[in-house]
Amino acid sequence: MQKGVVRKRRTSQLSEYGKQLQEKQELKNQYNLRERQFRHYIDSALEKSGVQNAEEQLLQHLERRLDNVVFRMGVAETRKQARQLVSHGHIRVNEKRVLVPSYQTKRGDKISVRPNSRENIFFKNRKLALKKYESPSWLELHKENLEAEIKGVPGLEEIGVTVQIPLVFEFYSR
């Protein structure tokens, strides 16, 4: 096998446990979370909503994380980049600087880029890229000011789930 080449196993060869693990890892990596953080979100979703709405509850919690909101605003190209912008103090929530990427936003919160940071070349370039960007319906985006207000909660169809969430819950129910 060549160096640096990753072989991906076919799904048909995986056991039930392997499929569950694969789905869990994919969702966890999509939101750039560590195992303990991810487990906390899973437990919280199951605890608050029972089995019926657990899937929707989990995804809404993940989508309302500050780093993900910054990503959905279009200010960052990736969730990792959004996490870094939050950690470095470029983002404010309701006019207060927030350094915690896992901060849970809520309806009515106003997320903005700090005024001093807007002069940075990175944010000037992002402002140009935002002209073509279409934000999700649960965010009211003000492109010229690099600001957004959370108007609602994201729906399952809007999130665009790429993994089978029930398999993730089955993995943790062992």
Angle at 107 between CA 101 and CA 111, to 5 degrees: 45
132 CB-side CA count, 13 A: 3
Q: pLDDT digits over 146-171, tens only?
A: 999 999 988 877 887 888 998 999 99
- Could you give all domains of the chain from N- to C-terminal order, each with its CATH number? 15-155+165-174 (3.10.290.10)
Distance CA 128, CA 115 (A): 17
CB atoms within 10 A of CB 91: 27
Q: pLDDT digits over 88-144, tens only?
A: 999 999 999 999 999 999 999 999 999 999 999 999 999 888 988 998 999 999 998
Distance CA 149, CA 45 (A): 24
Distance CA 131, CA 31 (A): 25
> Residue 4: what pLDDT?
57
- Poorest-pLDDT segment among 10-19, 39-48, 113-122, 160-169: 10-19
Q: pLDDT digits over 70-89, tens only?
A: 999 999 999 999 999 999 99
Q: Which residues pair with 139 in a beta bridge?
A: 150
Cβ atoms of 96 and 102 closer than 8 Å: no
